[in-house]
């Protein structure tokens, strides 16, 4: 789990940095010319301009983590995948179906929250 967290934190950092680098420069330069520091530019320009993209990446990586953890569970790590594998080995198909539905519900819940937050960000900008 720690390996997944570190790996995805690195990916999110890289995607966030790329997003910040590709922002329109006039707004950033105007703030810099007005005497704003790096933190002020980040809070006043970078964060509002890139918030939607940051959230999109965050929710995408969260969904990916849920799926990766399920697969790792089937390979011996205790997670949703191990519950599915255990239920299958004991021929408890009702438990296996329940675990699979829980995994699907996690992904769907993430998609719904992601869509709601992105719509909220879109309306507020």
| For range 82-103, the mean pLDDT | 87
Q: What is the pLDDT of residues 6-41, one digit of tens each?
A: 888 999 999 988 888 888 888 778 888 888 888 888
Dist. CA 1–CA 122, nearest whole Å: 33
With vertex at residue 70, the alpha carbon angle to CA 67 and CA 74, rounded to the nearest 5 degrees, is 140
The pLDDT assigned to 119 comes to 82
Tell me the three state secondary structure of residue 119: helix
- Banded model confidence at residue 125, pLDDT cuts 50, 70, 90: low
CA distance 52 to 76: 36
CB 76 within 8 A of CB 82: yes
- Higher-confidence residue of 27 and 77: namely 27
Q: Which of 79, 95, 78 is nearest to 87 (CA)?
A: 95
Alpha-carbon Rg for the chain, nearest whole angstrom, is 20
């Amino acid at each position: 789990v720690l390996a997944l967290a570190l790996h995805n934190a690195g990916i999110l950092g890289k995607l966030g940095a790329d997003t910040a680098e590709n922002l329109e420069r006039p707004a950033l330069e105007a703030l810099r010319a007005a005497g704003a520091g790096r933190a002020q530019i980040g809070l006043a320009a970078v964060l509002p301009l890139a918030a939607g993209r940051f959230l999109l990446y965050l929710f995408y990586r969260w969904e990916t983590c849920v799926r990766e953890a399920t697969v790792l569970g089937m390979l011996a790590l205790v997670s949703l995948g191990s519950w599915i594998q255990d239920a299958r080995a004991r021929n408890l198909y009702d438990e296996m179906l329940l675990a699979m539905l829980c995994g699907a519900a996690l992904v769907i819940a993430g998609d719904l929250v992601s869509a709601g937050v992105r719509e909220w960000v879109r309306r507020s900008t």
